[in-house]
Amino acid sequence: MTDPIQQAVTILKQARQITVLTGAGVSKESGVPTFRDALDGLWTRYDPQELATVQAFQRTPKLVWDWYAYRRQLMRTAEPNPGHHALAALERYFPEMVIITQNVDELHEQAGSSDVIHLHGNIVQSKCLDNCRGNPTTIDLTALEIIETPPRCPHCGAYIRPDVVWFGELLPEAALLRAYQISEQADVMLIVGTSGMVMPAAILPRIAQNNGAQIIEINPDTSAITPFARVKLEGPSGIMLSRLVEALHNDGS
Ligand code: BV8
């Protein structure tokens, strides 16, 4: 039985264009809990899928704001892990490579990846709940004197919210369109650290495969992607991605 890393290297060596799709698992070794991990203590009793909605924010604005403030705090101290660095290094072999991420952190960019599409927004940014000056009306929190949480939009007085895509909300159109396009064009899709459950991101691997791409999955567990992965590298992405890039290097690619 050929070593799956070697199988993946053989596929990558023949690849013209690879597209990478990442989920919360790629940030786990940076200390950022995955979306379905129960955040510690205070937050274990809440279902993230319930909290990440406009309805939850309108019903309990302070609770939702505090949940994001807590997650922002976790992300503020997080550093890119070897998996992020390995993906950045992969660009040496595939200069056209694009990372499509479901993650709301900036760890791919911090590791040096140069072309990252954020499908679900960015937790570090904030915007007016009513987008009173256009979509999105981003707000620089550091320029505000915050006297209440959630803070109020300085233009219209509506609540300020995190600039992320909540369940039930549309994904940013340009990002999603580009993600569809490059998924169609890829001849290999490397899928790292996602349960493959959240739509429409979870459609991208199908689009890639329907257009002839081979799927390589990196995940310590099984996911909705596993059944149609050509190669499965079973383990944490920090280790498996580093091994994959090292094997590609040693193969003289
Ligand atoms: C929309 C931002 C139009 C907020 C997020 C079609 C069918 C069914 C349902 C729907 C559908 N279309 C739309 C829906 C509804 C919904 C949906 O998909 N529901 C699912 C859950 C059934 N989708 C939407 O609402 C989307 N909007 O489609 O608009 C519409 C609207 C209404 C109705 C119809 C159409 C908006 C989705 C975006 C939601 N926002 N994030 C925030 O972060 O607070 S998504 C959120 O969940 C995260 O960002 C993350 O991306 C996602 C969770 O997915 P993963 O990243 O995969 O994370 P997860 O924890 O699940 O898995 C982690 C994986 O890592 C695991 O596999 C684990 O094994 C692995 N792992 C663990 N350790 C490691 C590791 N891997 C590698 N290394 C390790 N060390």
pTM of the model: 0.95
CA-nearest of 72, 190, 158, 173 to 122 is 72
- How many whole angstroms from 197 Cα to the centroid of ligand 1? 6
Please give the C-alpha separations between residue 253 and each of 86, 89, 93, 191, 238, in angstroms, as whole numbers: 15, 13, 8, 21, 21
**CA separation for the pair 233, 221 (Å, rounded):** 10
- How many whole angstroms from 49 Cα to the centroid of ligand 1? 9
pLDDT digits 0-9 by tens, 169-182: 999 999 999 999 99
Q: Within 6 Å (CB) of ligand 1, which residues are found? A: 23-26, 28-29, 34-36, 52, 102, 104, 120, 164-170, 193-195, 197-200, 219-221, 223, 236-237
Beta-strand relationship, 160-164 and 121-128: antiparallel
Per-residue model confidence (pLDDT) at position 147 = 81
- List, as one string, the DSSP characters of 135-173: SS-EE-GGGS---SSS-B-TTT-PBEEEEEPPBTSPPPH
Residues 6+ apart with CB under 8 A from 206: 228
Across the range 183-208, mean pLDDT stands at 97
By most ligand atoms within 8 Å of CB, the mutation choice from 116, 199, 217, 243 for ligand 1 is 199
Across the range 56-74, mean pLDDT stands at 94
- How many whole angstroms from 199 Cα to the centroid of ligand 1? 6
pLDDT at 230 over 90: yes
Per-residue model confidence (pLDDT) at position 37 = 76
**Which residue is closest in CA terms to ligand 1's atom 36?**
167
pLDDT at 146 over 90: no
- How many whole angstroms from 250 Cα to the centroid of ligand 1? 36
Residues 6+ apart with CB under 8 A from 157: none
Per-residue model confidence (pLDDT) at position 33 = 85
Q: Exposed, middle or buried: residue 247 (CB in 10 Å: 0-12, 13-18, 19+)?
A: middle
Q: What are phi and psi of 50, to 5 degrees?
A: -75, -40
Closest ligand 1 atom to the C-alpha of 48? 44
Which residues are marked as active site? 120
By most ligand atoms within 8 Å of CB, the mutation choice from 35, 222, 239 for ligand 1 is 35
